[in-house]
Structure 1
Amino acid sequence: MLFDSIAANMQIYSNKLSQHLKQTLAKVYLVAGDEILLQNEACDEIRQACAKSGFVDRERYNFETGFDWHGWQDSCNAMSLFANQRLIELRLPSSKIGTVGSEAITRFCNNPPQDTVLLIIAARIEGSPKWVKAVSKDGVYIPIYPLDHEQLPNWLKRRAKQQQLTLAHDAAQLLAERVEGNLMAADQELEKLALLVDKNTTLTRNIIGKAVADSARFSAFNCFDHAIDGDALSACRALRHLQEEGTEPAALVAAMAHQLRTLAQLKQFAVQGKMDEGIRAMRVQRKRQSAVSNRVQSTSKAQFEQWTKLASQADLMSKSVDKENAWLLIEMVLLGLAGKPITTQHYHL
C-alpha cells in the first residue's frame, strides 16, 4: 500500500523501519544521526522498498556552500526523464541549511510530486529546525542514535546471527568492550570471525579474547556519559584509552568545562523546580535526559563549583609541563561525577 495516511506525521526508530516499510511508503523520509553504519542500513532499507514499489530512477544531491535550492526544487517538480517514478536523495552535512533551504524542503513536504519519494540523509539534528518539523508532519523522521553500553551486546548477538553465528552473552559483553561505540569495527570483526570459524559455531568469550583486537572508539563525551551514568570504571577506562592514544589533555578539559557548565546551569533550573524546562533549554538528548536529570538532582551546587575549580586547574596544568597531573585532575572530576569522589586535599582550590 503506497502513501497511506499511516505514513504521515511519524517519528520512528530504525529498529521499527522494516515493519513500517512493509505496510506503506511515505513521500518523504529523513534519516539523521552520527552513527554511519545504522544510518546507511536504514537508507538501504528505504531504497529497497522504493525500488520494489517502482521508484527505479535515483537522483542524488549533496548540499554544500552555494547550493542552488531553486534549481533543486525545479528538478523535484519536473517529470522524470523516462516517465519513471523516482527516488531523490538529498545529503545534508548539517541541519543548518539556511532560510531558503528550509523553505524549499518545507514546500516539497507540503506538496510532494506524485512520482517522487524524497530521502534526506543528515547529520544529527540540532535544535528544532522548521524543515524537520515539516518532514515529521508530512513524512517520516528516523533519528539514528548511537547504541549505549547496555544495548550494544544484544545488537552484537543479533548481528552475529546474520553471519550464522551464535554469540554467547559473556562473549558479546567482551566484544562490546573491545569495540565500544564503533559499530563499523564490530561488524568487521564479526565478518572476519565468520570466515575463521564454521557456520553455526557458538562464539565463546575465549574465542573473542583471542581473535578480536581492542579497537574501541573513545571520545571525551564517552568519558562524561559513563561518569554521569555512575559507571566510574568505564569512565576511567575511556580516559586511559584517550591518554594512551596521545590525546592532548587541553582538548579534554575544554569539553569537560562545557559539560560542567551545562550541568551547573541545569542545577539552577532544578533548584527553581524547573528541571524539565532546563532539559529543553539545554537541549539534552532524549536518551540522556533521565541519567543527566538524576545526576543533577543528586549533586550539590558546591560539588559542581569544586569540579569547575578542578577543571580550571587542570586547564592550567595541561598548558604547562605538568600534563600528568592534568590527567589526574580530569580523572578526579570524572570520579566525582560518577559518585566516587576522592580527596582533593593535595590540590589548592
Structure 2
Amino acid sequence: MDAKQAFRSIKQEQLLPVYICYGTESYLMNEFVEQLQEKLVQPEHKDMAIVRFDTGEHALDTIMDEAETLPFLVSSKIILVRDQVLFAAGKESSKVEHRPERLLAYMEQPLESTVLVFLVAQEKLDERKKLVKAAKSKDWVVAFAALQAEELQRWLLKRASGQDRSMGSDAAEELLRRVGTDMRALAAETDKLCLHAGQGGSVTLASVRSLVPMATEQNVFKLTEELAALRTAEAIKLYHGLLKQREEPIKLMALLVRQFRNMLYVKELGSQGYSPQQMASQLGLHPYAVKITGEQARKFSPERLAALLDELAELDYAMKTGRVDKALGLELFLLRTGSQGAS
C-alpha cells in the first residue's frame, strides 16, 4: 500500500488494526499519524488514548501487553512505536531483548479497539524477516517515499486550495527552487504565502520571489545554472549575496563540489540507462533534486565536470593551507568557470 491509499482509507474510515509505516518522507508519515489520531481520538482524550513506545528502549513484551489491554475510559486507542529493530533493514541494535513471535501471534488476532502503528524511518524494510512477510501478506505495510517533482507541485497547489487560495504552477515551481524538497519547510512557506494573499487571493510568482528567501543549497543550484549559461555576473552577484549572509566560502565550495559530483554521477548513470527514480535511490537524493541536477548536467560534458572537480580539490587545499584568501579564491574560480563555460 502506498501513502495515497493509506490516506484514502482513513477518509473512508477503513482503518486497519496494524500499520507498518516506513520510508524517507517523515513529513507525510507524521501527517498520516495525525489524521489517524483525528479520526480515532477526541482531543480531550489524547493522554489516555495515545501511547508511545520505542523498540530501542522498550521490550516488545511491554508493547504487546499494552496492545492486548482494552482501552481505559475511551472507546479506542492508538499505540505508536518508533522502530529501528523489528522491521528495519540492516544490523539490529537494541538495549532490550525482543520476542517477535509475540507480535506474530497478535497479528493473527489483533484487538479491534486498538490501532498499532510501527514507524520505521528507513527507505526499505528487511524482507527476510517473518514479521515483514506477515505484515505484507495482510497488506498492512505503507510506504512513504519521497514525492516526485510533479507530485510535490500538486501537493503545494492542493495545500493552497485547502486554505481558499489559488497558486499558479509557476509559483509552485519557484517555491520548490527556493526552498528545496523539505515538505515541512514547504508547508510553512506555503502557509505564509497564503496568509499574505488573503482569503480568496492568489499566490503568485512575484510574491514567492519577494517573500521567500532562497536556501543556501538552492542558491548553489542557481549558482551552477548561471555558470553553465555563461551568466558570470549573475553568479558573482549570488556569491556576494551569500557572503553578506555570512556563509563560509569553504562551506559554499563543499556544496559546489557535491553538486558538480552529482552532475557527473547523473550523467554516468543516465548513460547506463538508469531511470530518475533509480538515480535518486542510488545517490540518496530526492527525485526533484535529480531532475534539477539532470537539467544542469546536460550543459556540461563529463570531461568538463571532472576538470572542475580537480580544480576545486586544488582550491580546497590552497584555502585550508592559507595559500589563498578563501573568499577571493572561490570568486576567482567562479570567474574562470563562467568565462570558460560548460564545454
- Do Structure 1 and Structure 2 share a fold, with TM-score over 0.5? yes
Whole-angstrom distance in 1 between the partners of 2:306 and 2:205: 43
Q: Does 1:19 align with 2:5?
A: no
What's the TM-score once normalised by structure 2's chain length? 0.63
- State the Cα distance separating 1:143 from its structure 2 match: 1.6
Whole-angstrom distance in 2 between the partners of 1:294 and 1:175: 18
- State the Cα distance separating 1:309 from its structure 2 match: 0.5
- State the Cα distance separating 1:109 from its structure 2 match: 6.5
Q: Residue 35 of structure 2 aligns with which residue?
A: 45
Whole-angstrom distance in 2 between the partners of 1:279 and 1:159: 28
Aligned 8 A contact 2:61 2:99 in 1: no
Aligned 8 A contact 1:253 1:330 in 2: no
Whole-angstrom distance in 2 between the partners of 1:111 and 1:160: 42
Q: Match of 1:313, as an amino acid? A: E
Whole-angstrom distance in 1 between the partners of 2:152 and 2:238: 16
Whole-angstrom distance in 2 between the partners of 1:105 and 1:296: 50
What's the TM-score once normalised by structure 1's chain length? 0.62
Aligned pairs, number: 310
Identity of aligned residues (%): 17
Q: Residue 139 of structure 1 aligns with which residue?
A: 140
Whole-angstrom distance in 1 between the partners of 2:177 and 2:281: 33
Aligned 8 A contact 1:185 1:215 in 2: no
Whole-angstrom distance in 2 between the partners of 1:318 and 1:186: 36
- State the Cα distance separating 1:312 from its structure 2 match: 0.2
Q: Which runs of 5+ in 2 are unaligned?
A: none
Q: Residue 51 of structure 2 aligns with which residue?
A: 59
Give the aligned CA root-mean-square deviation in angstroms. Answer: 5.1
- State the Cα distance separating 1:80 from its structure 2 match: 3.2
Q: Evaluate the alpha carbon distance shift between residue 48 and residue 267 of structure 1 in structure 2; reply closer, same or farther with a 3 A threshold.
A: same
Q: Residue 160 of structure 1 aligns with which residue?
A: 160
Question: What pairs up with 1:1-349 in 2 under 5 angstroms?
Answer: 10=1, 12-13=2-3, 15-21=4-10, 22=12, 24-26=14-16, 27-30=18-21, 32-34=23-25, 36=27, 38-51=28-41, 57-62=49-54, 67-75=57-65, 78-80=68-70, 82=72, 85-91=76-82, 98-99=91-92, 108=103, 111-112=106-107, 114-115=110-111, 116-123=114-121, 125-126=122-123, 129-130=126-127, 138-145=139-146, 148=149, 154-168=154-168, 172=172, 179=179, 181=181, 182-190=185-193, 192-193=195-196, 197=198, 199-203=199-203, 208=207, 213-219=211-217, 223=220, 242-257=242-257, 273=272, 279=279, 282-285=282-285, 287=287, 301-319=302-320, 320=322, 322-328=325-331, 342-343=339-340
- State the Cα distance separating 1:239 from its structure 2 match: 6.5
- State the Cα distance separating 1:77 from its structure 2 match: 5.1
Q: Evaluate the alpha carbon distance shift between residue 80 and residue 176 of structure 1 in structure 2; reply closer, same or farther with a 3 A threshold.
A: same
- State the Cα distance separating 1:293 from its structure 2 match: 7.2
Aligned 8 A contact 2:80 2:117 in 1: yes
Q: Match of 1:185, as an amino acid? A: A
Q: Residue 4 of structure 1 aligns with which residue?
A: none
Aligned 8 A contact 1:315 1:326 in 2: no
Q: Match of 1:213, as an amino acid? A: L
Give a deviation string over 1:225-252, Cα, whole Å, max 9, x none: 9969x9969x969877654432323234
Q: Match of 1:40, as an amino acid? A: N
Q: Match of 2:37, as an amino acid? A: R
Aligned 8 A contact 1:178 1:215 in 2: yes
- State the Cα distance separating 1:343 from its structure 2 match: 1.5
Aligned 8 A contact 2:165 2:202 in 1: yes
- State the Cα distance separating 1:28 from its structure 2 match: 1.1
Whole-angstrom distance in 2 between the partners of 1:68 and 1:62: 6
Whole-angstrom distance in 2 between the partners of 1:282 and 1:266: 10
SS in 2 for 1:40: helix
Q: Which runs of 5+ in 1 are unaligned?
A: 1-9, 336-340, 345-349
Whole-angstrom distance in 1 between the partners of 2:268 and 2:170: 42
- State the Cα distance separating 1:155 from its structure 2 match: 3.5
Q: Residue 7 of structure 1 aligns with which residue?
A: none
Answer with 26-35 or 258-267: which moved more: 258-267
- State the Cα distance separating 1:332 from its structure 2 match: 7.7
Q: Evaluate the alpha carbon distance shift between residue 292 and residue 129 of structure 1 in structure 2; reply closer, same or farther with a 3 A threshold.
A: farther
Q: Evaluate the alpha carbon distance shift between residue 147 and residue 139 of structure 1 in structure 2; reply closer, same or farther with a 3 A threshold.
A: same
Q: Match of 1:306, as an amino acid? A: A
